[in-house]
Structure 1
Amino acid sequence: MNIKREMWDAAAEGLAPAARQALQLKGVQSLLAWVKARSPMQRERLAQVDPADVRTLADFAALVPLSTKDDLRAAMDRIGSALPHLCVAREDIVLSGPSAGTSGRQTYQAFNAQDLDRNVELAARLFWCSGLRPNDVLQLLVTPFTPAADIFRLGAQRVGVKWIIRDNHEPTQVPRYVEVARSLEPTFLQAGVATLRAMAQHAAATPAGGALPHRRAILMGAALGPEARAQFRQSLGIEVTTLSGQGSDFNLFSTECEAHDGEHWHGEDMTLVEVIDPTSGAPVGEGDVGEMVITDYYRRATPHVRWRTEDMVRVHPGICRCGRTSRRFTLLDRLANRVPVRGTAVYPFQVEIALSRSEDGRNLEFALMRKADEPQKLEVRLLRPSTLTDDATGTAVGQRLQHHLDAELKLPTQVSFHDDLPRVGYKTLRVIDEPRD
C-alpha cells in the first residue's frame, strides 16, 4: 500500500461539483423508488411524491418532505415494528444496533452487506484524511454496542492497520486507558474530547508525569478551539484532528485534514447533504450557519430520506488546499442545546471557543445550566482540574474565568467548579436542565 498517497480514493474525493451533483441526483431518484416500494413508513410519508417528478436536486428538496427521529418513533408505534423503515428482508441484515437514546426513546438502524461495505469505505477515507496509516497502532475507544464500533474497526483494518486496541468509552475507566497506552504504546488515539482531557490530567498526576505515547488523535463529541488543539500539541505532543457526525443514526462522519480548515464530508458520492435554515427550510449559502439534512442514498436496508439531524453547521467556502473537493463543515452545536439568557441564546460551542482563548479555561470540561425561567446570568459549571487543590486558588481562577467569559460572550456569567459533571457515553452533557417543580 502506498502510504504517501494524499487521498484514500482520489477519484471519489476529488469529484468535480457537476459530476458530484449528477451522482447525487441519480442516487436520490433511485432511492425514492426503492423506499416507496419496500418501506411501510416511507410508503405512507411519500405517498404524494412521484419519483419521475424529481428531475433536479432542487425538485427533490421542493417535493420531498423533511423527516425527523420523531417521525420514525411515531411510525414504530403506528406500524408496530422497531424497523418501519426497513427495505430488505430480515435475513439480509448483517449488522444492526440501537441509537444511544440521548434524545428520547431509542431508534434502530440496520445494514445489509452492501451498506456495510460502503460505510466501511467511508470510514477508511476519514481515517486516511486524519493521518492514520498502516504502520500505526490504534487505540480505539468507542461505545461498544453501536454499529459505529464495528465500522470504525473495519475501516481502520481496510486502511491496513493490523493492531487495534479496542476498549469501551467510560469516564471511570480513564486510569485503565492511560495504563494501556503506556504499556502498549499505541501511536493513534480515537476517543472523545472529554476522554483525552481526562487522560491528560490523570497522566500528569502520576509519577511518570504527563507523557502519552500517541502521535495523533482523532477526537469526537465536542467543538474544539484552535488554542485548545495547540495545547494538546505543545503539552502532549499529539496532533489533533476532529470528527463529527451522526453515529447513532447513520455512521456518517466528517473529519479534518492537515489543513484544519473545516471537516470534510467523506460521502459526497454516496449521500446528499443539504444545509437549511431550521425555521424556513430554505437552503443557506456558503459560509452561513444552518441545519444539516442527510439523505444516505447508498443505503438499502434502512435509508434516511431528508433526515433532519438537528446539527447546526457552518459551510466553509472554496476548495481545501489538500485537494479534496468535498464540502467542509464546522459542527457548531445541536438545536436542542440552545440556552436562553437575558433575551438572547447561548450555545455550548460559543463557551468552548471562549474558554479555549483563556489559559485558565483551555481544555476544561463544562456544562451550562438551562433554567426553567430565563435568567439574567449564564451559569457555567466547570469540571475542577486536578491542579486546583486549594479553595483559594480555585476561587481566584473562577473569578478570572468569569470576567473572561463576561467579555467574550458579552453576557454576565456565573462560574463555579465541580468535582463531577454528568456524562452521556463519552460526552460531557453540555446542557443541564434545571428540574421543574
Structure 2
Amino acid sequence: MTAGTTRKHRILVLGAGYAGASAAGRLAKRLHRDDVEITLVDAEEDFVERVRNHQLAVGRELVRRPFGVMFEGSGVRLKFAKVTALEADRRSVRVESAEGEEELAYDTLLYALGSRWNDHGVRNAAEHVHEISSRAGALRLRSHLDSLAPGRKVLVVGGGLTGIEAVTEIAESRPDLDVALAARGGLGDWLSRKGAAHVRKVFGELGVTAHEHTTVTAVGADRVKTADGTVIATDATVWTTGFATHPIAEAGGLRVAESGQIVVDAMMRSVSHPEVYVGGDAGRAMGDAGKPLRMSCATGTPMAWQAVDAIAAELTGLKLPKVPLRYFNQCISLGRRDGLIQFVTADDTSRERVLTGRTAAFYKELVCRAAVWAVANPGATVLSRGRRVVGEPAAAAGA
C-alpha cells in the first residue's frame, strides 16, 4: 500500500469474557464497518459464563454460546488464538493458534484479558488444588467430584463471594460429601449483620463446616496446613482466594499498579499508552465513589462500555457519555434454591438491607441472564453515516 492511501482503523480487542465480548459488540454498533476493522481475540470458541462456573463444576449443563453465532453479521472479525505477548511501543500483539504463531498490529487496543486464579504463593497449591476461575478448571473439578465416594471430604479455601457460592453449590448437589470452607476472616464478615446471619443459616442447613480465621499456608494431595499448624484432611481442595492479572500487560510495557492491573484514567485509557484502553479485571480503575473497583463482572462490563464510548468519541468527534461506575448490590447464590442480595453503597459498603431465600435466588438468576444479554446486545447504534471515521494514511500508521 502506497503512502497517502487510506485504510481502515484497526481496533484489536483482547479477551472475550464479559468485558471484551460486550466491548467488541458495542464498538461494532458505535462505528461504521467501512471505516474500522474490529478483531476480537480469544482462545475459546464459545462464550464462558464465568459467574456460573461453580454450577458447571457440580455437573449442571450450561447453554452453549458460540461466538460465531453471537457475532454473526456484526462485522466483528473473530480470531481464536491465545495471546502470548504484547509490545505496546510497537502496537503489536503476538498470538498462537492451531495455524501457528502470528503477529497482529493495531491502531487502538482494548485490553480485556481479565484475571485468573491466584495461589498467593502458597506452597504446592498449583499441584494439588482445583480452581474454578476457568471453564477448564471447573470441568476438571467436576470430573474429580464425580469420582468421590460418599463421605469424602471437600474443602473450599477462600471466604469471598466465589468461595461461598462454590461451597454451597457443592454441598447442595452432593449432600453425601463432607463439605467445609476455610476463610481467612469471619464468615461473611464484609456483609451486613442480616446478610452474614443468613449465610450462617444456610451453611447450617447444608451441613457446611466453616473454619473461620483460618489461613492456609501449605497444600498437599490429601490435606492442607494452616498458619497455626492445624492440618485439615481433604480429598478435594478448591481454591477461591481471589484473582491475579496476567503478566503480559507489564511485560508488554504498560504501566501497572502493585496489583498487576493496568493503570487507567477515568476514560479507561492507559496512562502510559493512550492508544490502549482497558475493560474488566485487567484495569485498575477508580469508581465514582473514589475507591478502586473490585474485580467482578458487575464492574468489568461498565468499564468496557466506558472504554468503547471513549474510543468512539476519539475517532468520530461525538460527545463522550459517562458510564456510571458505582455499586448497587452484591448478588450471591447459595445453591439453586437460596441466595443473598446484599445492598451496598456506591463504594461497595454493605447496607443493612438484604433479600434472601428463593426471591434472592431468582434475582441472582436474572442478573446472570442479564449479563449474557448485555454481551449479545451491547447498545444501540449512535453513529450516523455523516460522522464516519476516516482511516489514517498507511505510511503514517507504520504499516
User: TM-score, normalising length from structure 1?
Assistant: 0.33
Q: Larger relative contact order (C-alpha < 8 A, sep ≥ 6)?
A: 2
User: TM-score, normalising length from structure 2?
Assistant: 0.35
